[in-house]
Amino acid sequence: MKKYTAVIFLTILLTFLAGPVEAFASFDISSQKAILIDAQTGQVLYSKNAHTASYPASVTKIMTAVLALERGTLTDYVPISMRASYIEGSRIYLLEGEKVTLEQVLYGLMLESGNDAAIAIAEYIAGSVEEFAVMMNDKAVQLGAKNTHFTNPNGLHDKEHVTTAYDMALIAKHAMTLPKFREIVNTVRYIIPETNMQDTRYLYNGNRLIKNTSDNYEGANGIKTGYTTAAKNCFVGSAQRGGREYITVILNEPNNRALWSNTKALLDYAFEGFAQVPVVEAGEVVDSVESLGSKSEVKVVTEQGFHYNYPADGEKPGIQENIVMDTIKPTIHSGERVGYIEYSIGDEIVGTVRLIAQRDNGQSNILASGMLKGETGSSKTGLWGLLLVLPVSLLAFRFLAKNRRRRRSMYIRKRNIFNRK
């Protein structure tokens, strides 16, 4: 069965705004390298020199924590080497040979910004700092952080250790999808109980937005501070209110007071200057495909939801929905990606949502493999298999044609529904 791709363009008129915000028309902050994004979709709401290279200092540790959570086991004891114990800068004073778990070390990494914790994690995950840096860079590329290059897990100054505000926003966006990461960065105080070598330790978060300080911010839930002489003050922040969540990044800010005030200004800009319109929900049925050789159907649903941030005032634009279906195969597993939807305004793509197959009856395939090949190796079974090829092929062509017609009519109905809203 030949591969085919069905591409259907559909203009959906939505009642939301995309023009500049009048109340914030001249909005700006004093920090020279900054970005504000939607934490779920990655939509950029504010950007200033966001693609300019900068030293990241300890916000590097966001990536270190990501790799630790994705590749490590929280209950594992992390070997503490001499190199980790004697690293310069901020530390939680790990001792060579001390017995601490990965979970405890992670809290020391993100709350107290322990450089010793970062080295210990790198050696635990990759065997060496150098190999861990390779893993960090591979992950950065995977996340789309193409202008980032890490040489260490802690952010201590190195001319080759650079990133951008945009790249750090992408890394933080991914990090906040990890439940344990979210828990750690929203913790004000953590206790490491007495170990084989040290008494109880109390760790305190350096993020002023989540603490009872003058910089406390409603809904703040992360993420990481950083400072070196070369990098100056850096901060990746986040806040969530009423189901809306935003991420900020400020790099290379010489004034610590401005770091916090500008972060709060960015978050205010997001929550007060924008609203969200849901475009599609996770699990929404886009189409259904009839099973070959039976009357059962497999639904095509959205893998995740998508919403769009629009300004408080402005003109109403239209959003264009471009649905692309991949090859329809005789065998499709539940959960398998079968296409995607692109949402755009004019020529700009503002979001992409993947489409997956979903069965209601719990079966995994559209077409059982036994239909095309015998259950035994006998020549008689093989003959029956050959005899089935022709009718199954004819059925497949009828199936494709029918589903093209059904898909077309389904989209027309969807257009009418949107136009009535």
- Listing DSSP states for 284-314 in one string gives -EEEEEEPTTSS-EEEEEESS-EEEEEESSS
61 is catalytic: yes
CATH number for the domain including 109? 3.40.710.10
Domain final position from 254, 288, 315: 254
**Residue 273 placed within a domain:** no
Which residues, 6 or more positions from 141, have their beta carbon under 8 angstroms from its beta carbon?
A: none
The answer on pLDDT for 104 being more than 50 is: yes
- Out of 207-216, 273-282, 370-379, pick the least confident: 370-379
316 or 334: which leads in pLDDT:
334
Task: Say what the alpha-carbon torsion angle 134, 135, 137, 141 is, to the nearest 10 degrees.
Answer: 140
Share of the chain above pLDDT 70, in %: 76
Q: At what angle do helices 115-126 and 61-71 cross, to 10 degrees?
A: 40
Is residue 60 domain-shared with residue 121, that is, in the same domain? yes
Give residue-wise pLDDT tens across range 55-74.
999 999 999 999 999 999 99
pLDDT at 295: 55
| Of 84, 64, 8, 1, nearest in space to 342 by CA | 8
The answer on pLDDT for 1 being more than 50 is: no
**Residue 332 placed within a domain:** yes
Can you tell me the distance from the alpha carbon of 214 to that of 160, in angstroms, rounded to the nearest whole number? 36
pLDDT at 129: 98
Provide the domain count of the chain.
2
Longest CA span, the chain:
82
Is residue 294 domain-shared with residue 185, that is, in the same domain? no
Is residue 191 domain-shared with residue 126, that is, in the same domain? yes
pLDDT at 365: 45
Is residue 215 domain-shared with residue 102, that is, in the same domain? yes
Is residue 54 domain-shared with residue 107, that is, in the same domain? yes
- Out of 50-64, 103-117, 404-418, pick the least confident: 404-418
Is residue 291 domain-shared with residue 151, that is, in the same domain? no
pLDDT at 386: 44
414 is catalytic: no
Is residue 177 domain-shared with residue 47, that is, in the same domain? yes
Q: Which of 31, 54, 58, 81 is catalytic?
A: 58
Q: Which of 61, 139, 173, 264 is catalytic?
A: 61
Is residue 240 domain-shared with residue 290, that is, in the same domain? no
Is residue 352 domain-shared with residue 401, that is, in the same domain? yes
Q: Which of 54, 81, 113, 238 is catalytic?
A: 113
Domain span at 286: 6-15+279-420
pLDDT band for position 166 (50/70/90)?
very high
Is residue 71 domain-shared with residue 219, that is, in the same domain? yes
Task: For residue 135, count other CB atoms closer than 10 A to its CB.
Answer: 19
